[in-house]
Amino acid sequence: MEEHDNPGELERRADAGDLHAARRLADLLAERGDLAALERRADAATERRYARDRLTRLLLERGDVVGLTRRADASDRIAAERLSWLLAERGDLAELERRADAGDEQAAFGLARTLVQRGDLGELRRRADTGDREAADHLAHALARQLDLAELRRRADTGDPHASHGLAVALHRRGDRGELQHRADSGDEHAAQELAMVLRERGDLAELERRAGAGDVHAGKELTMALYYRSNETGDRSALQRRADAGDELAGRLLGPPR
């Protein structure tokens, strides 16, 4: 064994704050399959990140649901994430749902993703309607991909921010400037953001400038980006400079330090 692979020396250096030694020690213990030593370091070492990563990865590779569950229940976020992967891979929706209902955010994400993959929007709707934010987010993305504007509108109009975002994205994809503008003018921030992108894509700098002047921060950002791209093409940075001089921090950053 080479000196740099000596576990005792690596542990001494890792405990002294040597991140390279901590990473190498975790790799070495994983290669040996030494779960006990990995777990001890994951729970007690000064630098625990590498040990936790390698321990939970090893448990995942072994399909050790019990080991991952025990660590997830002890507030190991990496273990909770990898447990959700394993349960989803095995199709164990019942356990994912049990953990999600108990407040495990990683399980809620894994459950929602699995339901999307299975095309089970009915169960996603049920969970979204009972307050599951991951289900609501995944449902909104699925409806946006389907361009199901009717359901997105209905959900957005009842105060669902995920549906509001999904609707704005879907309207952007359709190029529906009219509805985006109507919703933006009614105070929908997601619509305002997507509208600003549509205006930049269409080169409507006059409308961007009008909206930016009325206080629309999304329009201001997209206007600045449009002027930046134009300045790269033409070499004329005067319009961008005017925005920087008026207090636009993004324009100032894009211009860089004074020459």
3 and 55 fall within a common domain? yes
CB 48 within 8 A of CB 42: yes
30 and 63 fall within a common domain? yes
The neighbour count for residue 234, using CB atoms within 10 Å, is: 10
28 and 57 fall within a common domain? yes
Q: Is residue 120 part of a domain?
A: no
Question: What is the predicted pLDDT for the residue at 3?
Answer: 44
Three-state DSSP string of 20-59 = HHHHHHHHHHHHCCCHHHHHHHHHHCCCCHHHHHHHHHHH
Number of domains in the chain: 3
Q: Is residue 112 part of a domain?
A: no
28 and 70 fall within a common domain? yes
70 and 4 fall within a common domain? yes
* Per-residue pLDDT tens listing for the chain (259 residues): 344 567 677 777 776 667 787 778 777 777 787 777 777 777 765 556 777 888 888 899 899 999 999 989 988 889 999 999 999 999 999 999 999 999 999 999 999 999 999 999 999 999 999 999 999 999 999 999 999 999 999 999 999 999 999 999 999 999 999 999 999 999 999 999 999 999 999 999 999 999 999 999 999 999 999 999 999 999 999 999 999 999 999 999 999 876 5
Question: What is the predicted pLDDT for the residue at 1?
Answer: 39
Question: What is the predicted pLDDT for the residue at 4?
Answer: 55
Question: What is the predicted pLDDT for the residue at 31?
Answer: 77
Question: What is the predicted pLDDT for the residue at 155?
Answer: 97
| Residues 107-116: contacts with CB under 8 Å, at least 24 apart | 107/80, 107/83, 108/132, 108/133, 108/134, 108/135, 109/84, 109/134, 110/84, 110/85, 111/84, 111/135, 112/137, 112/138, 112/139, 113/88, 113/138, 114/88, 116/141, 116/142
Question: What is the predicted pLDDT for the residue at 48?
Answer: 62
Q: Is residue 253 part of a domain?
A: yes
Q: Which domain holds residue 153?
A: 140-187
209 and 256 fall within a common domain? yes
CB 195 within 8 A of CB 181: yes
Q: Is residue 131 part of a domain?
A: no
Q: Is residue 179 part of a domain?
A: yes
CB 2 within 8 A of CB 28: no
Token couple for 251: 């324009």
Place of tokens 């950002």: 221
Q: Of 56, 74, 92, which residue is a domain's last?
A: 74
Q: Is residue 95 part of a domain?
A: no
212 and 259 fall within a common domain? yes
Q: Of 187, 221, 245, which residue is a domain's last?
A: 187
